[in-house]
């Protein structure tokens, strides 16, 4: 964020200065809300890091963050636990699917629709999950990871970071500062720098 005030107010009107201040406040507000990140502690097993996920409001288990998996993967023993707890019904099972397991073998198993998966404060509903034999890893696939927005793993602190500052989408306020002398607009690798003779603001393009 670049915000620099100067003392050169020559030619500036109260209207223009007010617009500039409103623009700056809008940028600060957006950055403050966007920069808030959620940190989720991870559990390590060897070189694998796993995140705690709450399933159907009943049980919390550690899932491997697997960007190569298209869907969430549960094991048959976990499915049994959910059935016994009454949080999974026969009507939650849908068509079978063939999966390639980590050892290269293929397995045809059921798919279930989970009412909720909770990762940190984020709750996902009606999540399709594949079922593989007991003993395998629980996987958090792209139907969850792909909907987290921007996320990363801090290996040193062993945490999953969700919601770091990212470029604005089309919902970003499309304001412009309109001084009497038109601002210079300079692209900076996907960012736009608005320069006036009062202040300079850098915001995502």
Q: Determine the pLDDT at residue 202.
A: 40
Do 75 and 96 fall within a single domain?
A: yes
Q: Are strands 122-132 and 72-75 parallel, antiparallel or unpaired?
A: parallel
Q: Determine the pLDDT at residue 161.
A: 93
Q: Determine the pLDDT at residue 152.
A: 92
User: 32: which DSSP letter?
Assistant: H
Do 144 and 58 fall within a single domain?
A: yes
Do 67 and 153 fall within a single domain?
A: yes
Do 16 and 96 fall within a single domain?
A: no
3-state secondary structure (DSSP) of residue 9: coil
Q: Determine the pLDDT at residue 60.
A: 97
| Count of structural domains within the chain | 2
Do 150 and 56 fall within a single domain?
A: yes
Residue 89 sits in a domain of what CATH number? Answer: 2.40.70.10
**What is the C-alpha separation between 24 and 18, in angstroms, rounded?**
10
Do 18 and 71 fall within a single domain?
A: no
**What is the C-alpha separation between 171 and 154, in angstroms, rounded?**
29
Do 72 and 114 fall within a single domain?
A: yes
Do 112 and 50 fall within a single domain?
A: yes
Concatenated DSSP letters of 51-91: EEEEETTTEEEEEEE-TT-SSEEEEHHHHHHHHHHTS--GG
Do 89 and 124 fall within a single domain?
A: yes
Q: Determine the pLDDT at residue 2.
A: 46
**Domain residues for 22?**
3-35+166-204
Do 43 and 84 fall within a single domain?
A: yes
Q: Determine the pLDDT at residue 108.
A: 83
pLDDT means per 10 residues, the chain with 205 residues, are: 47 64 61 68 90 97 91 95 95 85 74 96 95 91 92 92 54 34 38 38 40
**What is the C-alpha separation between 162 and 126, in angstroms, rounded?**
21
Residue with tokens 């966007």: 34
Q: Determine the pLDDT at residue 167.
A: 40
Do 104 and 197 fall within a single domain?
A: no
Q: Determine the pLDDT at residue 68.
A: 84
Residue with tokens 């808030």: 36
Q: Determine the pLDDT at residue 185.
A: 36
Do 7 and 57 fall within a single domain?
A: no
Q: Determine the pLDDT at residue 122.
A: 94
Q: Are strands 151-154 and 191-195 parallel, antiparallel or unpaired?
A: unpaired
């Amino acid at each position: 964020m670049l915000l620099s005030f100067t003392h050169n107010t020559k030619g500036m009107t109260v209207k223009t200065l007010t617009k500039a201040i409103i623009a700056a406040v809008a940028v600060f507000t957006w950055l403050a809300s966007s920069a808030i990140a959620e940190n989720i502690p991870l559990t390590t097993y060897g070189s694998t890091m796993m995140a705690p996920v709450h399933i159907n409001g009943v049980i919390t288990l550690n899932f491997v963050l697997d960007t190569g998996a298209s869907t969430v993967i549960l094991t048959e023993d976990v499915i049994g636990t959910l059935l016994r707890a009454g949080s999974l019904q026969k009507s939650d099972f849908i068509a079978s699917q063939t999966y390639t397991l980590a050892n290269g073998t293929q397995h045809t198993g059921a798919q279930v629709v989970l009412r909720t998966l909770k990762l940190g404060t984020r709750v996902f509903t009606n999540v399709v999950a594949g079922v593989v034999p007991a003993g395998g890893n629980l996987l958090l696939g792209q139907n969850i990871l792909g909907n987290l927005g921007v996320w990363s793993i801090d290996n040193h602190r062993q945490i999953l970071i969700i919601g770091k500052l990212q470029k604005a989408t089309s919902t970003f306020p499309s304001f412009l500062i309109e001084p009497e002398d038109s601002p210079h607009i300079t692209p900076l690798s996907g960012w736009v720098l608005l320069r006036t003779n009062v202040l300079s603001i850098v915001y995502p393009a």
